[in-house]
Amino acid sequence: MSQPFENLPTTPRSSELIDKAFSRAARAGRAKDGFDAQSSMLQTAANICSDNLENVVTEWPDFDGLDPFYRDLADAVLAGETAIGSEDQRGVDALRQHLSEVTWASRKAADIRGEYHTKLRNASDVDHARKLRKQAFARLADVVEQVEDSLLAIAAAREALRDLPDIRPDEPTIVVAGYPNVGKSSFVNSVTRASNEINSYPFTTTEIHVGHVEDDHIRYQLVDTPGLLDRPPQERNEIESQAVSALEHLADAVLVLVDASGECGYPIEVQLELRDALCERFAEVPVLTVANKADRSRDVEADHYMSVTEGENVETVLAAAIEAVDYEPELPFEE
């Protein structure tokens, strides 16, 4: 299973599509004579334009049918792509408009094919048929060129979305949050090291780190989002806030790591304010406060205390997170 945008095909530019259509049409025309040559050239060029434009659209997943996590994450990513939308319309809605424009062009190419087939059948001679076919080619080229901006925008959307993390929304997920340098990455690395590597995915100004761990034959995802869930909500821009909304759909439990020693560079009071904001944002799932670097300070009230560097209670914290998720796999229906 891969993320829904990973295998999207390359989107052609209008000039590439026109060249492809007309070069294939020329070869088709050389294989026949007279009226048949003109008809074959028309059929070939129009089919290539119409079919390729249609494929650009149909290869994209239905956004309404996507898991809410990927739908909201895609919306956040695309909202940051100025090549895809305007100030008035950004995100998935802007992409949908471009896809709609390409759908129009595909249908228009098919209409031109039908219109000129009728005209070719009524042509008085081969020269007249050739003129009609050239008219059809000019109109096909004009239609494809009209959607050049949309094709470029769709290509930009593909590039922006193809490297999104391969996260499985149907698998239980633990989100790891907290200020920088409190030990989030060290914790995720420690508990996933034995069986799975950590994968990092670029996202706007940050990265999403995803690791996995198995317990009782169930795979759990651990998601760390440095630069996103490590600062107060008021410091996030609109795109980052949308990404947090996506994580709300994903999280089955949240671990908020804090550092009472102050070595992370942030006062414990500020860290707890972030914790409180995350509790409010992820109100539908368990949120556990974990004091890391407990070998240096325990001067904070927390659900659990650990020290990743000393290997103290790390597995206990992981077990507590798994217990908080309280995941029950679906079993086959039995009568």
pLDDT tens digit string along 201-243?
655 556 778 888 999 889 999 998 887 888 888 888 877 888 8
Same-domain status, 190 and 232? yes
Q: Is 88 exposed, middle or buried (0-12, 13-18, 19+ CB in 10 A)?
A: exposed
Q: Which domain holds residue 135?
A: 14-162
Amino acid 32 reads K
Q: Are 52 and 143 in contact (CB under 8 A)?
A: no
C-alpha dist (Å) from residue 151 to 19, 80, 111, 148? 15, 18, 20, 5
Q: List the CATH number of the domain containing 128.
A: 1.20.120.1190
Same-domain status, 129 and 213? no
Q: Are 77 and 163 in contact (CB under 8 A)?
A: no
| Residue-wise pLDDT tens digits, 41-92 | 999 999 999 999 999 999 999 999 999 999 998 998 898 887 887 767 889 9
> What backbone torsions phi and psi does residue 212 show, to the nearest 5 degrees?
-135, 150
Contacts of 134 (CB under 8 A, 6+ apart): none
Nearest to 29 by CA among 99, 134, 115, 169: 134
Please tell me the total count of domains within the chain: 2
Q: Are 175 and 256 in contact (CB under 8 A)?
A: no
Same-domain status, 93 and 193? no
Considering 108, 128, 162, which residue would you say is the last residue of a domain?
162
Contacts of 335 (CB under 8 A, 6+ apart): none
Q: Are 252 and 325 in contact (CB under 8 A)?
A: yes
pTM equals 0.83
Asked, for residue 1, whether it belongs to a domain, the answer is no
How many CB atoms sit inside 10 A of residue 38's CB?
26
Q: List the CATH number of the domain containing 312.
A: 3.40.50.300
Which single residue is written with the structure tokens 């325990």? 298
